[in-house]
Amino acid sequence: MGKNSIGEFEEIVLLTVALLYKNAYGISIKEEIENRLKRNVSVGAMRTALSRLERKGFLKSEFGEATAKRGGKRKRYFRVTKSGKEALEQVMETRKNLWDAIPSVAFDFKLA
């Protein structure tokens, strides 16, 4: 695995950013992962993953408009880049190749 490889949590974050499309900001990503995967996600882990994925060039971000509801703070919205999509496709292909290589007898539990 090279410097552009991604781990499981990064894969989940990238997929969730794509899923949310124009509504992908920190809390919405966190909540979507928690709701879909029934998995707790800390704010720190989310920030770290988003930052790392952006440094790798798999995500890009931009700030939205400031709102009174958020006390004048702006949301940072994320989008998957072309490189991010390619990384996801590579992970998907790797997993598919591994699944396809498993002999059917490996899951024949009548033999155990």
Q: What residues of the chain score a pLDDT lower than 70?
A: 1-4, 66, 68-71, 111-112
Q: Which CATH class is domain 8-102?
A: mainly alpha
Terminal-residue alpha carbon distance, the chain: 34
**What does the domain layout of the chain look like in residue ranges?**
8-102
pLDDT of residue 71: 67
- The whole-number pLDDT of residue 68 equals 67
pLDDT, position 99:
95
Q: What is the DSSP string of 29-88?
A: HHHHHHHHH-----HHHHHHHHHHHHHTTSEEEEEEEE-GGGTTPEEEEEEE-HHHHHHH
Q: State the pLDDT at residue 6.
A: 93
Query: What pTM, to 2 d.p., does this model score?
Result: 0.86
